Structure 1
Amino acid sequence: MSDHRNPEPKDVLSFGPFSLFVAERLLRKADKPIPLGGRALDILIALAERPGEVVTHKELISTAWPDVTVEEANLRFQMAALRKALGDGRDGARYISNIAGRGYCFVAPVTRSGAEQLVPVTGIATSERVQKLPPQLARMVGRDDTVRALTQQLQEWRFVSIVGPGGIGKTTVAISIAHTLSDGFHDAVFFIDLAALTDPELVPTAIASALGFAVQTQDPVVGLLAFIGDRRILLVLDNCEHVIGVAAALAERIVSEAPQAHILATSREALRVEGEHVHLLYSL
């Protein structure tokens, strides 16, 4: 049996290039803070506290969603986001293993130490640790007119897709538009990277999680639409081509049934649904 104990206030859990400051609820890679949602962070702490052990689905759900009943799809989405943040599976790095039918296991070696033994943690506000939007480029060459035009179109039409080949700058343009509109939406602007999903059925859960809403119904789409209601929000759905069918159908329903919701999508192909206005982005 492992020596599982509650973390001390100054505990730091180190693995690979990462340091997890438990009390500060902050993950750093070298000197760089890694943005991570609160529930993904809860899951990471629970796993890293018990390296080599299988932590059951039930335990992880009760840790990340205390006193709330949620579907396992919520856990799978948070796990996908966590693995992406850690680079799990890239360049041979392995941190979390899925134990079929049981739970998950943290498979990387973990070293526990005091925070005073490592690089001190600078004060970082919660809003900076978990950002709704990725940072905007200080200067974007050659796309200013496109950003201005699409900003106006999105406000008028509510549903705009930026379509073009990979690497052409669709995400950069979308992030710039989202930052431009942030004040108008009273910061209710949310960025959802769908490239992290391996299961298309997790798309509604991914959007709900970004909104801070835990899906508690058998039909997550119904719960999500009810939660959005008449709220004025902007959803930036990035990399829709990975889950094009489900993303397209859900975007169509949101625009149709949530009258104040706006959607800005990026994709290598058009979503081809009612209400979509497609902007083809060409190379400069």
Structure 2
Amino acid sequence: MNSYPQAATIAGIDSGGGAGVNADVKTMQERHVFSATIIVAVTAQNTLGVQDFEPVSIKLINEQFKSLADDLNIRACKTGMLADAAHVHAVAQNLQRYDFGPYTLDPVMVAKGGAHLLSDDAIATVRDELIPLATVVTPNLPETEALTGGKIESEADMQAAGHTLQQLGAKNVVVKGGHGANSQTSSDFVLLENGRSFWLSTPRIATKNTHGTGDTFASCITAELAKGKSVEAAIRLAKAFIQAAIADGIDVGHGHGPTNHWAFRKVVQTDAKD
């Protein structure tokens, strides 16, 4: 029997399959990590948008945490869609109650089609209760603005926001630049716990099929942390993983399609041949 690292995703289900828990499980599987799930919400969703969603009961969330803690060896975890302030608070309490290893916070607020997946009152709860617990926080530019209260219009603003998030308690920060104005490259600012910082830049790909990119990126980081990789190594590999997933796209649905979660497998095989 093979013994693989175990990780947990704590988020909402995407009925369309491209984001949320669905993307997390696919990504972790590709990285040879067993993925357990704690479902916070269920969505009626496809590539055209989110038609509806409903949070599960806090009692059931608590029971899911306990079930995993009682039986599995969770070495890393991540959160995604958490619905509202009460559910954010419940997740924060459970993350303090159980040791699920390094924690990656993907502060999901708005779906690719524009639907709000986090209530306004929950943003403050994420900032006050989850950021201080996070090993890595991975907001995009709109999420960074919401969490820090500042406008981001330049790389200098991204750097300042990264330091603000670290001051709020996050150990390591990735301010993702995918929503930036640069039409040639997508650049992320990384600020590590030891104070070192750097940029990760990749060519921007002309495609509408980017549904679930944030979930995929964060879950890849989580999988690598579950293996015992350093935070920097996990972030760098996750950047390569999501770049491959976008570049080698698949055609699903009629709107913002999903990324290709098995694309990185082909990149690794090509590298091995070289």
State the TM bucket, normalised to the shorter chain: under 0.3
Larger radius of gyration: 1
